[in-house]
DNA sequence: TCTTGAAGCTATAGCCGCTACAGGTATTCA
DNA sequence: TGAATACCTGTAGCGGCTATAGCTTCAAGA
């Protein structure tokens, strides 16, 4: 049996986080010691590893809830898993693209600033007037 | 004089957001009509445009607070502005890189899943065991 | 066996940057 | 004048944790 601290050390997350996962129903309630402390099994440990791994890949808690429930039934067709992963990858791709647009614009602003006084600073000037932007980054 | 709705339409943000900016001290308190409604000047409008533009480039509220305060003094040296912008660009770059690492790993997982049953699904398998990851994405 | 310090417990509030109510008042246009 | 729309304040919620306060329990050493 593992204490909450064992699991925390093992997965690199904090005890508070594990309690939080329990509270939102992502981790099942474990057994308790005589003194009311949580006592986990290997199954709990595996589940927490799964959760942390999926989180580290950027899946949302709701995604993970679904992945866990899908993975429960070994004989189910895995197309739903596949679809969820693809959806997430596409969202990551979109996010990368929008960040690259931002970076292009930031680079341009920084490159055009030749030092000197704030009154002539290109960065401030561009921030004051979106029409000076070239990359068409969205204002919203 | 502009109403809060005028400013909202003009900048593409919601009236609630403008009131929020006032509440946190990012926008100054405007004058009020006889009936206690906010009445803005062109200066307010410019400031809000600046804020929204900087937000759309990913600057945090605190960054923007500093940019605004730096931009107040036209004769100040703009190196602080430059440094802030570079710092932000570097953070964006780091974020892009970490998202690209994620995407590589997601792509690999998705590519290896050949359909079939959940029991053989590579996506689930990888999520269960981080050692199956190649890209070395951070677990934390 | 006793002590002490670390680890655990619950409950609650805070982080960011908004957004969404609820329940009331002001303004505007026909 | 009346109806529709906009605006007001105050509060709570989103996601995914993190931090605190004030307590109890556990485990290792003397």
Q: Which of B71, B117, B139 sits opposite A78 (nearest CB)?
A: B117
The pLDDT score that the predictor gives to residue B137 is: 83
The pLDDT score that the predictor gives to residue A140 is: 66
Cβ atoms of A78 and B121 within 8 Å: the answer is yes
pLDDT confidence bin for A138, thresholds 50/70/90? confident
Q: For the residues B117-130, what does the mean pLDDT come to?
A: 95
Each residue's pLDDT tens digit, B21-66: 999 999 999 999 999 999 999 999 999 999 999 999 999 999 999 9
pLDDT confidence bin for A129, thresholds 50/70/90? very high
Each residue's pLDDT tens digit, B62-104: 999 999 999 999 999 999 999 999 999 999 999 999 999 999 9
| Nearest to A58, CA basis, from A26, A25, A88 | A88
The pLDDT score that the predictor gives to residue A44 is: 98
Helix axes B4-11, B15-23, angle to 10 degrees: 110
| A102/B58 touch (CB, cutoff 8 Å), yes or no | yes
How far A38 CA sits from the closest chain B CA (Å)? 23
The pLDDT score that the predictor gives to residue B22 is: 97
CA distance readout (Å), B5 to A99, B25, B37, B50: 30, 19, 11, 18
pLDDT confidence bin for B140, thresholds 50/70/90? low
The chain-wide mean pLDDT, for chain A, equals 95
Distance in Å from D7's C1' to A22's CA comes to 43
The pLDDT score that the predictor gives to residue B88 is: 97
- Residues of chain A in contact with residue B76, where contact means CB-CB under 8 angstroms, are 117-118
Q: Residue window 13-72, chain A: list those with CB within 8 Å of chain B.
A: 13, 46, 49-50, 52-54, 56-58, 67, 70-71
- Residues of chain B in contact with residue A110, where contact means CB-CB under 8 angstroms, are 82, 85-86, 89
**Candidate from A50-64, B75-89, B96-110, B125-139 with smallest mean pLDDT:** B125-139
The pLDDT score that the predictor gives to residue A23 is: 96
């Amino acid at each position: 049996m593992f204490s909450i601290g064992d699991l925390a050390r093992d997965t690199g997350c904090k005890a508070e986080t594990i309690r939080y996962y329990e509270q939102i129903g992502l981790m099942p309630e474990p057994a308790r010691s005589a003194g009311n402390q949580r006592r986990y099994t290997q199954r709990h440990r595996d589940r927490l590893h799964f959760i942390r791994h999926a989180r580290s890949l950027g899946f949302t808690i709701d995604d993970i809830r679904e992945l866990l429930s899908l993975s429960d039934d070994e004989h189910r067709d895995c197309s739903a898993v596949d679809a969820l992963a693809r959806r997430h990858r596409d969202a990551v791709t979109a996010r990368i693209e929008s960040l690259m647009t931002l970076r292009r614009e930031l680079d341009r602003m920084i490159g055009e600033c030749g030092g000197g006084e704030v009154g002539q600073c290109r960065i401030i000037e561009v921030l004051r007037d979106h029409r000076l932007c070239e990359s068409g980054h969205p204002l919203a």
